[in-house]
């Protein structure tokens, strides 16, 4: 298929582009490079021997999007572009609503004009809000606890309304749980700006000596060891989930929603142990207060994706740690 991938130089986007190219799809990436580097394209080329077409373009830039869509007839769009830091979203909510919500509306308006109506959206387990009834199923009530989550929820509603208004649209909402790890080549991976917000990149930076110790946010949650439990999923498994979603799109699926997770939760202390075991490096840590907004436990019921997409995560926590570490060790400064 001929695919337009927004946010394709980012963490999940770049891994997905690799899988798409290796499956024989033709890919055009658009990204404004606000949270990624153009060097990612060299790395994608190193892995696949194919250099995807790239346009530095903001999804809010209607004219440029129109130009790009006029030059090619895309079969489908995979929409990763967005701001994603939960804490930052509470400080600059307008930026999050403008970029994520207005950006997606703008993108869809352009696509509609060009009759491109096959769309995969990066949603998040964050739309399950403070729900305590794990595992989370796709039909659970949704809520948001911060502007980032709210932007994902709003976009889900907007896309649902769009598909209802015009059944020619095929839209798949993919709710990612906790993507971690990197491509096994060590050539692409997660390259956070500044101090990492997320657990795995923080652990990797402690391991490589960039940070002294990990702060574990709370050990008094109602979980087996008191630390937060999450459903970590290898980014390559997640990427493959998008290829399966494209198969659904080709069947004129209408609107579909799938959790992409392993269906299994690991606590913070279990992740530290797994990382230490696979790398042989000790991770010093300190228990500190809970992080505001965190929930105790989140993991997916991933059975719908297994049933309808024939997809399930294959890589275990050891592979996630091993690949995260290879990327970190071989690229201590990220893409430089
Ligand atoms: P990322 O920041 O690495 O990638 C997002 C990319 O979008 C970046 O390259 C950035 O430069 C680009 N971008 C941002 N705003 C843009 C705009 N207005 N126009 C064009 N490009 C723009 O993030 P990621 O981890 O790869 O996440 C991809 C998507 O998945 C995001 O929508 C994110 O919200 C969602 N998601 C991520 C996680 C996670 O833990 N990483 C979990 C659930 C959902
Ligand atoms: N944690 C620590 N120390 C850290 C970082 C995290 O103890 O330095 C803990 C957190 O308290 C939590 C767990 O590790 O218990 C995972 O935290 P992450 O920040 O890695 O992930 P979250 O589950 O908080 O959030 C992630 C994404 C969100 C997304 C959500 C659901 O950052 O964007 O998964 O998909 F919405």
How far is the CA of 8 from the CAs of 226, 248, 285, 328, in angstroms?
37, 21, 34, 20
116 confidence band (pLDDT: 50, 70, 90)? very high
**Is any ligand 2 atom within 6 A of the Cβ of residue 228?**
yes
The rounded percent of the chain whose pLDDT value lies above 70 is 100
> Containing H/E element for 77?
strand 76-79
Which candidate in 148, 232, 258, 266 is catalytic?
A: 148
**Is any ligand 1 atom within 6 A of the Cβ of residue 31?**
yes
Task: State how beta strands 255-260 and 170-176 pair.
Answer: parallel
216 confidence band (pLDDT: 50, 70, 90)? very high
Q: What is the pTM of this model?
A: 0.99
Cα–Cα distance, 107 to 68 (Å, whole number): 12
Residue 132 scores a pLDDT above 90: no
Mean pLDDT of the chain: 98
> Containing H/E element for 305?
helix 303-309
Q: Is 240 helix (H, G, I), strand (E, B) or coil?
A: helix
Gap from CA of 336 to ligand 1 centroid (Å): 20
Q: Is 48 helix (H, G, I), strand (E, B) or coil?
A: helix
Helix, strand, coil percentages in the chain from 3-state DSSP, rounded to 5: 40, 20, 40
The residue count of the chain comes to: 336
Q: Which ligand is nearest to the CA of 87?
A: 2
Q: Which of 31, 30, 172, 150 is nearest to 100 (CA)?
A: 150
Q: Which of 154, 169, 46 is nearest to 116 (CA)?
A: 169
Q: Name the residue at shortest CA distance from atom 6 of ligand 2.
A: 199
Average pLDDT rounded to a whole number, residues 226-240: 98
Q: Which two tokens stand for residue 203?
A: 């652990």
Q: Which of the 8 DSSP states describes residue 290?
A: P
**Is any ligand 2 atom within 6 A of the Cβ of residue 176?**
yes
148 catalytic residue (yes or no):
yes
Q: What is the pLDDT of residue 274?
A: 98
22-38 residue pLDDT tens = 999 999 999 999 999 99
The rounded radius of gyration (Å) of the Cα atoms in the chain is 19
Gap from CA of 307 to ligand 1 centroid (Å): 27
Residue 305 scores a pLDDT above 90: yes
Cα–Cα distance, 151 to 195 (Å, whole number): 23
Q: Which ligand is nearest to the CA of 13?
A: 1
Cα–Cα distance, 59 to 109 (Å, whole number): 11
Residue 131 scores a pLDDT above 90: no
Establish whether the linkage from the previous residue to 135 is cis, with ω within 30° of 0: yes
Q: Which of 95, 152, 110 is nearest to 128 (CA)?
A: 152
**Is any ligand 1 atom within 6 A of the Cβ of residue 261?**
no
Cα–Cα distance, 158 to 219 (Å, whole number): 38
8 confidence band (pLDDT: 50, 70, 90)? very high
Residue 284 burial by CB count (10 A; 0-12/13-18/19+): exposed, middle or buried? exposed
Close Cβ partners of 264 (under 8 Å, ≥ 6 residues apart): 231, 299
Q: Which two tokens stand for residue 154?
A: 């709003």
Gap from CA of 153 to ligand 1 centroid (Å): 15
Close Cβ partners of 37 (under 8 Å, ≥ 6 residues apart): 9, 191, 334, 335
43-73 residue pLDDT tens = 999 999 999 999 999 999 999 999 999 999 9
């Amino acid at each position: 298929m001929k695919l337009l991938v927004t946010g394709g130089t980012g963490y999940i986007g770049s891994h997905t582009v690799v899988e798409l190219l290796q499956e024989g799809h033709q890919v055009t990436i658009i990204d404004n490079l606000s949270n990624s580097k153009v060097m990612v394209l060299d790395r994608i080329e190193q892995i696949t021997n194919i250099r995807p077409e790239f346009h530095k373009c903001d999804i809010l830039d209607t004219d440029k999007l129109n130009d790009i869509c006029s030059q090619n007839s895309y079969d489908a769009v995979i929409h990763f572009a967005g701001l994603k830091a939960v804490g930052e979203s509470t400080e600059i909510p307008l930026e999050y609503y403008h970029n994520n919500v207005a950006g997606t509306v703008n993108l869809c308006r352009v696509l509609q004009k060009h009759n491109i109506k096959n769309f995969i959206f990066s949603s998040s387990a964050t739309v399950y809000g403070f729900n305590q009834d794990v595992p989370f199923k796709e039909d659970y009530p949704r809520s948001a606890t911060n502007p980032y989550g709210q932007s994902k929820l709003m976009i889900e509603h907007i896309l649902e309304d769009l598909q209802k208004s015009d059944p020619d649209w095929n839209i798949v909402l993919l709710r990612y749980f906790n993507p971690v790890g990197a491509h096994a080549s060590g050539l692409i991976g997660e390259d956070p700006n500044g101090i990492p917000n997320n657990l795995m990149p923080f652990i990797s930076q402690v391991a490589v000596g960039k940070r002294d110790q990990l702060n574990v946010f709370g050990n008094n949650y109602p979980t087996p060891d008191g630390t937060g439990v999450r459903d970590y999923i290898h980014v390559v498994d997640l990427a493959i989930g998008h290829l399966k979603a494209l198969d659904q799109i080709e069947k004129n699926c209408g609107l579909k929603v799938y959790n992409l997770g392993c269906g299994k939760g690991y606590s913070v202390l279990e992740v530290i142990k797994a990382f230490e075991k696979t790398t042989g490096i000790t991770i010093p840590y300190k228990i500190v207060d809970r992080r505001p907004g965190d929930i105790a436990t989140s993991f997916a019921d991933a059975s719908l994706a297994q049933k309808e997409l024939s997809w399930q995560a294959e890589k275990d926590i050891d592979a996630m740690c091993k690949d995260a570490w290879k990327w970190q060790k071989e690229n201590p400064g990220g893409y430089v």
